[in-house]
Structure 1
Amino acid sequence: MLFDNLKNYIIAQLRSEDKNDIQFQGTFSEVLQHATTHEEAFFLALALVPHVQPSFFDAIMKEVFPEGGEFPELGGLREGNHRGMLPTAETALYVLAKDDLNYRLHLQQFFTPEHWFYQNNVLLLEEVKEGLPLTSGKLIMPKEIVHLLCYGEQVKPKFGVNFPAKEVSTLMTWNDLVINVSVQNQINQIKLWIKHHKALIEDWEMKKHMLPGYRALFHGPSGTGKTLTATLLGKEFQRAVYRVDLSQVVSKYIGETEQNLEKIFNLAENKNWILLFDEADALFGKRTSTKSSNDRYANQEVSYLLQRIESFQGLVILTTNFKNNIDDAFLRRFNAIIKFSKPTVEERMLLWKKAIPKTMAVNENLLQQMANTYEMTGAQIVSAIVHASLLALEEKSDFLSQQNLLSGVRAEFEKEERHFAPLVESNY
């Protein structure tokens, strides 16, 4: 029905017939959760139709102009594998406004950065070569929006060249994260921003005093809960957490790193996503003195990132093992810098107890002695327990023995080439 109405409306407009009874006011509003005007809904329908009816515009041209001919005022183009006509901004402007210059200029405002089409990444205008009219660019509707309008459901972006980031999640809860009080307080500050930042900016009129998003740096040894904290924040506030795959982002070719990152930031804008840059040193490292062209381009990448994360309206979390590796310019702009330390003896004991499978028995005195003796992170403790549990399953035992647990600890020490010393007592 929508496309029949669209077809009738376009034909009527091209023939200058009175068809004011055909209106698109509010179309798509419920699905997009944003009220649409008649003109906005028309632009959306025009951009959507090639994805559903490839011959749509050709059928209209045959009906209105049976003798054929060139009609440059209608715009449109053909490219790639698509055999039908792809609408440009010129197509929409001519159908809606004809030669009404003021109306045409008004409609072109739909493609400014201030319009919700751009801010919500709903409908974009293709970039054109320098010197060509901006309106000759084709209407681009991201495939996620096409799917949403066709099926009424959100589709998550697929990891690949065009989106080098993967969604990460966890089955764990905040109760599984063992951290000190200071870190807890700093994480709570991030939670407060997620809950109240809109009110702070809009109701309290703090927009002119603060940058739009929130930037946090988690630093400390591997396995201390940095990535887990990011995923738990997403889980609590029902926000997707996308971990940027630096191997897919960083390129030796000039400008490609920035282009790869721009794809992520553009798609994430206004999506309430959390962007996670694990081991961020590769991207956010210190700038160096310019001794060669390579140094200059590397510094340009850092400068681009500095500008981009400042303008991003969401939450960006960087993790690193070494805070000193991050460029000072980034450090000054972080809203939170949180140090994740290796767990204390008391914290290690909690980690051992929380990670033991509920179906397995273990001597608590043994756990205490291991917590006292072996300096391990939470991730290492979990790996040691998994190692011991597999041995117990092979033995058809529901008890985690000292021998199996120590075998797991030894394996973790060997990974880091650390000296492993058996427990003095072995009566558990």
Structure 2
Amino acid sequence: MVDPAAFGSHNPNADELLKPWVTEEVVVTNPDSWKDEDLLLCNHRILGFSFVQKTWAAFSVSDMSDVVWNDDAFDKLIIAEKKRRMVRLLVQSHRPNSDCSFDDIIKGKGRGLVGLLSGSPGVGKSLTAEAVAEVSRRPLYSVSAGELGTDVQRVDNRLGMILEIVRRWECVLLIDEADVFLYKRGESQVERNALVSIFLRRLEYFSGIIILTTNRQKDIDEAFKSRIHFKFHYPPLHTEARLKIWENMLASVTDKMPDWKLTDEDMRSLASKPLNGREIKNAVSCVASIIRANQEPLSMSLIMDILETLVEDEEPGDQ
């Protein structure tokens, strides 16, 4: 995200990088009329934030490009069509600052859109958050509970900073494995209770889209349940769901090799293997890497060899 002003707010001591941006204000008139020599006078770097690295940085202008949104991302989710349609409508219509947006009795409260996704790893929770960001055409800020930590003061400060960034850029916020913040409060767990209370307070006044993932839906504090707008539980993948994931993942490989396609029997064989979505993605990623590096043709035997290395049987002593 390109934002020199926000860079300055979060990095006030980065004098060398900030110097070109804190000189006298220049009034820009009709930049389309600028000549090449005018553009050469501009700084070759621009300040912003990397969502992948979670850090502020100076980026080369020559590496900048427009965002290409994936409008088909939502169609690849393995969820019921009715749920898919409802979530799409909710996220596309969510505009907390519009005149027709709903507000709480207390101004500024309850204007966010909160989703809770539960299920075992690799069933599509994170993919749903990514699809929500794509269909709403907003950046995705992804953070795990581990990145926030467990120290109460640090969590409050860190969460406040993240929510400010998310609000400024109208991001979709994904908090992965948020169990520690959602867990039921108890009388003897003072520190955990404080974490849950801080998270509740921040959530109450957050006006954007936030998606929480958990593996322990039954242990969620009652106070959170009333703040959730949509909730999905993802069961373990069945054969048809795995078949759809294999088809989606392999499409990017086979589309570049139109003369070679997997047979229906091959696809059924792959779908019969008890893999989760993340394991399937890893396998296809390895297939693509080998094909690209070694110019090796795509084959069912190659896929099976990779699966044998990625998913080994447990050692007798591990059971």
TM-score by length of 2: 0.68
Structure 2 CA distance, aligned partners of 1:258 and 1:264?
A: 10
> Which residue among 73, 96, 99 is the counterpart of 1:202?
99
1:233 counterpart letter in structure 2 = V
> Which residue among 216, 231, 237 is the counterpart of 1:322?
216
The answer to whether structure 1 residue 234 and structure 2 residue 129 are counterparts is no
Query: Do the aligned residues in 2 keep the contact of 1:224 with 1:377 (CA within 8 Å)?
Result: yes
Task: Say how many residue pairs are matched.
Answer: 267
Residues 1:267 and 1:332: Cα distance change in structure 2 (over 3 Å): same
1:149-180 Cα offsets, whole Å, 9 max, x none, are 7798x9644578998xxxxx986832662413
Tell me the SS of whatever aligns to 2:231.
strand
> Which residue among 156, 160, 183 is the counterpart of 1:258?
156
> Which residue among 280, 284, 292 is the counterpart of 2:178?
280
1:263 counterpart letter in structure 2 = M
1:382-413 Cα offsets, whole Å, 9 max, x none, are 22233345556677542312x33223333343
> Which residue among 220, 229, 242 is the counterpart of 2:119?
220
> Which residue among 264, 271, 274 is the counterpart of 1:364?
264
% of aligned pairs identical?
A: 21
Structure 2 CA distance, aligned partners of 1:178 and 1:385?
A: 18
Residues 1:245 and 1:348: Cα distance change in structure 2 (over 3 Å): closer
CA shift, 1:272, in A, is: 1.6
Structure 1 CA distance, aligned partners of 2:291 and 2:14?
A: 58
CA shift, 1:376, in A, is: 2.0
> Which residue among 304, 315, 319 is the counterpart of 1:406?
304
| Unpaired stretches in structure 1, ≥5 consecutive residues | 1-47, 52-78, 83-142, 164-168, 420-428
Query: Do the aligned residues in 1 keep the contact of 2:114 with 2:209 (CA within 8 Å)?
Result: yes
Query: Do the aligned residues in 2 keep the contact of 1:384 with 1:411 (CA within 8 Å)?
Result: no
CA shift, 1:198, in A, is: 3.9
Tell me the SS of whatever aligns to 1:398.
coil
CA shift, 1:207, in A, is: 2.2
1:400 counterpart letter in structure 2 = S
Structure 1 CA distance, aligned partners of 2:26 and 2:315?
A: 57
Structure number with the higher strand fraction is 2
CA shift, 1:338, in A, is: 0.9
Structure 1 CA distance, aligned partners of 2:172 and 2:237?
A: 26
Matches within 5 A, 1:412-427: 412-414=310-312, 417=314
Task: Give the aligned partner of residue 239 of structure 2.
Answer: 345
Residues 1:322 and 1:243: Cα distance change in structure 2 (over 3 Å): same
Task: Give the aligned partner of residue 299 of structure 1.
Answer: 193
The answer to whether structure 1 residue 188 and structure 2 residue 188 are counterparts is no
Residues 1:190 and 1:81: Cα distance change in structure 2 (over 3 Å): closer
Query: Do the aligned residues in 2 keep the contact of 1:391 with 1:404 (CA within 8 Å)?
Result: no
TM-score by length of 1: 0.52
2:103 counterpart letter in structure 1 = K
1:238-284 Cα offsets, whole Å, 9 max, x none, are 211101243332144x5222111111123323532111101111333
Structure 1 CA distance, aligned partners of 2:201 and 2:303?
A: 49
| Unpaired stretches in structure 2, ≥5 consecutive residues | 29-45, 57-67
The answer to whether structure 1 residue 333 and structure 2 residue 224 are counterparts is no
Tell me the SS of whatever aligns to 1:234.
helix
Matches within 5 A, 1:16-31: none
Tell me the SS of whatever aligns to 2:311.
helix
Residues 1:286 and 1:202: Cα distance change in structure 2 (over 3 Å): same
The answer to whether structure 1 residue 380 and structure 2 residue 276 are counterparts is no
CA shift, 1:303, in A, is: 0.7
Structure 2 CA distance, aligned partners of 1:305 and 1:365?
A: 49
Q: CA RMSD in A?
A: 4.1
CA shift, 1:208, in A, is: 3.8
Structure 2 CA distance, aligned partners of 1:161 and 1:392?
A: 31
